[in-house]
Amino acid sequence: MFKQSLKRSLIILAAFIVIISLAGAAAAQELEWNTKQRPAQLVSKTADGLYQIANVRWGFAKSDDYTNLSPFWRNASIDVNKISDVLFIVKPFEPEWLAAHCLLIFKFSEPFTSDQNEKADGFVLSIEARLLKGQKYSLLKGNFGKFFIVYQLGTESDYLQYSAIEKKRLIPYKLKLTHEQKVELLKNTIEESAKNRDNEKYNTINNSCTNNLFLLLNTVLPKEQKFKEWILKKVIYNMGISFPRTAGKLLKKHNVVAEELPIMVPGEVKSDAMASLAGEFNTAVSKSGALELNTLSGDKLVVANKKAAGISVKVDKIKTAFVDAINEGAITKDMIRSTMYSEDAEQLLGLYVPGVDPGDEEKTGFVVGSEFDEKLSAINNNAELSAYMSELFDSYKAAAAKRLQLEGPDVSHYLDANLNALYKGLDRSVKYLKLNKR
């Protein structure tokens, strides 16, 4: 009797899940989406690698007003065996010391064609937060399930045109892959892009433009080159594969970069025809002059100092928590390493102060690399570990206070969020160690 009742309950639960799933898919389809995004569809494929794909973006209609973009959508015929190169692209956006979008460009030895006999020699995968009409992307909202996700496919010229409209630069890395790996990566990209993702939400950390590209690369890399997804399985995610700012460094560490190419700065389209056919683009190296550093004054300095004082209080609280946990034997140096340090990115991610300008952390910010790992490895007792962690937090606190007094993007919210995440990471690590000691 009990078995029959349990079986009936499981059937009802399964039916309920299916109904909820279908309802979610139907709701997603009824939403009014942004016109520049559209999920790809796999029309057909052959055993020898010829793919027919619908909803490939093929540029935008030229307009004096790009607030409401009008894209061209095409069916594309792609022979994956004609692939020549794969480029990993980092596209910084404000604030550039933190934020960027990552994408892949597949280059071909022979052009692929659309259903209107148009030709293109570059194919793009851009994994994006799928936006509703009028909705804007937010790094913060991306952490709280506010967006769906779309694997957007298009041509290289399409994306160059879009980047020109946005006035964004592209930082390309040519990947070191065999021809067989390139073919397999392109196949996997198409297959992943064609999956139904109506119920899938974007997440800035574990389901984004960046970490998904590293996971795609994992599908073709040998074991020794694969990127680690979890530091502690299902507990601590490896933020090294989620942080666009360190993507190039991570690719190099895993020996996946063949060549670092000149920065691309797409220019304006100079033709009324679509970009993929007649666009002209500038791909010169971007050169920026040295940034003049100024200290805030007056009311702005008063506000900055108040923010610095708040950060200082939180830093002292977390420092005390770490030192107490060390002295009580509630956390080990290996757990500290797992909580704070990304081995893949070779960087301490929890205590990072962005510089005023991208890449100037050494001058106006605070960044700790592999020396953290080396120092931990050399420490032999809890007294040394406590002293080192205290010194580390004090150095971070001083750097944060100095940075907040400088003119430039306000990083106080970012620092506060990082510290909150670090405190939660410490709490999880302590609980995990206690649980495993039982």
**By percentage, how much of the chain surpasses pLDDT 70?**
83
* Residue 285 resides in a domain: no
pLDDT in tens, 375-391: 999 999 999 999 999 99
* Residue 229 resides in a domain: yes
Measured between alpha carbons, how far is 349 from 331 in angstroms, rounded to an integer? 19
* Residue 21 resides in a domain: no
Q: Same structural domain for residues 154 and 256?
A: yes
User: What CA–CA distances, in Å, run from 434 to 179, 245, 253?
Assistant: 48, 35, 34
Q: Same structural domain for residues 218 and 318?
A: no
For 117-155, where are the alpha helices, taking DSSP H only? none
Q: Same structural domain for residues 308 and 212?
A: no
pLDDT in tens, 209-228: 999 999 999 999 999 999 98
Q: Give residue 7's pLDDT.
A: 54
Residue 84's nearest CA partner among 107, 104, 101, 100 is 107
Pick the residue with more confidence: 305 or 417? 305
pLDDT in tens, 252-266: 989 999 998 988 888
Q: Same structural domain for residues 240 and 341?
A: no
* Residue 4 resides in a domain: no
Whether the CB-CB separation of 81 and 49 falls below 8 Å is answered with yes
pLDDT in tens, 286-327: 434 445 678 999 999 999 999 999 999 999 999 999 999 999
Average pLDDT over residues 231-236: 71
Q: Where are the beta strands (DSSP E) in 156-203?
A: 171-175
Whether the CB-CB separation of 176 and 116 falls below 8 Å is answered with no
Domain-ending residue, one of 245, 278, 311: 278
Domain-ending residue, one of 278, 311, 326: 278
Measured between alpha carbons, how far is 263 from 100 in angstroms, rounded to an integer? 14
Q: Same structural domain for residues 267 and 324?
A: no
* Residue 404 resides in a domain: yes
Measured between alpha carbons, how far is 99 from 307 in angstroms, rounded to an integer? 22
* Mean pLDDT estimate for the chain: 84
Q: Same structural domain for residues 93 and 214?
A: yes
Residue 193's nearest CA partner among 21, 32, 45 is 45
- 216, 221, 222, 225 alpha-carbon torsion, rounded to 10°: -90
Q: Same structural domain for residues 97 and 236?
A: yes
Parent domain of 55? 30-278
Q: Same structural domain for residues 304 and 271?
A: no
Number of domains in the chain: 2
Rounded to 5 degrees, what are φ and ψ at 32?
-90, 105
Sign of CA dihedral 20, 26, 32, 37: positive
Contacts of 109 (CB under 8 A, 6+ apart): 82, 83, 84
Residue type for position 195:
K
